[in-house]
Amino acid sequence: MRLLTERPGAEVAGEVALGTREAWEDVLDDLTSTASAAPAPGEPDAAAPEGAAGRIPVQRGPRGGHALEVHLDLADLTFVDASGAASLCRAARRLAPDGRLVLHDAPPALCRVLDLLWPEERTLVVCPK
């Protein structure tokens, strides 16, 4: 996992299965909790040391609400099990009501699972490969 520099989010590679699920959920928790807890524009970040960028940068909503978008680049992700897909939906819901989780280059199998099991998930945007 590597944080994106051009927008809030991360690039993810490898597999999400039983052996990597805890790390996957930690990454999603970090991205979505940081985004939803980030200070509004112009407000200091009390959790960051003075002069440091201690949190993941986020794009704010028009009224200073939750982050508009957190992005995941999944181009190098080879497999996600159903539990990993459920974790994505839970992470996206943490960004509600104003935010959303955007999946870039999602593997076709993940797209099918999300479409089949969570077709109404509005806080999750899937951009397939």
Domain membership of residue 117 (yes or no) is yes
How many domains does the chain contain in total? 1
Domain membership of residue 32 (yes or no) is yes
> What domain range is 25 assigned to?
2-38+63-128
pLDDT (tens digit, 0 to 9) for every residue of the chain, 129 residues total? 899 998 999 999 999 999 999 999 999 999 988 665 544 444 544 444 343 344 444 444 444 444 579 999 999 999 999 999 999 999 999 998 889 999 999 999 999 999 999 999 999 999 987
- Kindly state the tokens that stand for 100: 């959303």
Rounded Cα distance between 57 and 86, Å, is: 25
Q: Specify the residue for token string 């927008």.
A: 7
Domain membership of residue 58 (yes or no) is no
Domain membership of residue 51 (yes or no) is no
Domain membership of residue 47 (yes or no) is no
Rounded Cα distance between 65 and 106, Å, is: 27
Domain membership of residue 16 (yes or no) is yes
Query: Could you tell me which of 114, 116, 110, 112 has the C-alpha nearest to residue 124?
Result: 114
CATH of the domain at 19: 3.30.750.24
Domain membership of residue 52 (yes or no) is no
Q: Are 7 and 71 in contact (CB under 8 A)?
A: yes
Residue 129 has a pLDDT of: 79
